[in-house]
A = this chain, B = another copy of it.
């Protein structure tokens, strides 16, 4: 099994507060996510600046496309994103338009699995060639009291992986959670505030990276 990547989700309200921690933690990070909040706060300038500062990193523009798929994805790829996100509630026509744009640009589409998605949809996304999904606990659900990762979550990840998806896991993941995922085919773990709000973002990122490496060593 390939070692999962570490993604930093930058859900800051402005670029200055996003840039400082990512600069410190970058050595341990594989994927930089310009979060929905940061994209809405600063626009595609956020993606453009990350691309200029970190030319070697994978950048996800978490624009959460609902419709106007080709326009929004074009804008994100133009700004330097490698990956763009589409919510599971988008129509297949929208998913298809983003997937087409991504293929032209050598980019990738991620479907964010929101409550109510179906396996029927998942099969259609794969048929369209979508390579990635994100499974997560919503921020609002987390805020109401943390659920923990369960065998049900792991089974879902396995099943998505069996369909051919690379699966990203997010939603309040802390380093202590990672060993629970041993043997589960995770493509990317996302950490947000756990890194960018840490007093030492480099040490926090290294801790994530080390536990991922340890957990998934063959």
Contact = CB atoms under 8 A, between A and B. Distances in A.
Nearest to A64: B66
Contact of A93 (B39, B93, B116, B141): B141
Interface stretch (A40-48, A179-187, A208-216): A40-48
Contact of A140 (B89, B94, B112): B94
A13 interface: yes
Given A43-B43, A75-B13, A69 B37 contact: no
B91 A89 contact: no
A144 interface: yes
A91 B89 CA distance: 12
B63 A138 contact: no
A71 interface: yes
Contacts of A76: 40
Interface in A62-114: 63-64, 66-72, 75-76, 87-91, 93-94, 97, 112, 114
A58 interface: no
A33 interface: no
A207 interface: no
21 contacts: A37-B71, A37-B75, A39-B40, A40-B44, A41-B43, A42-B43, A42-B45, A43-B43, A43-B45, A66-B66, A66-B87, A67-B140, A69-B140, A89-B89, A91-B115, A91-B140, A93-B138, A93-B140, A93-B141, A93-B144, A116-B116
Contact of A64 (B41, B64, B91, B140): B64
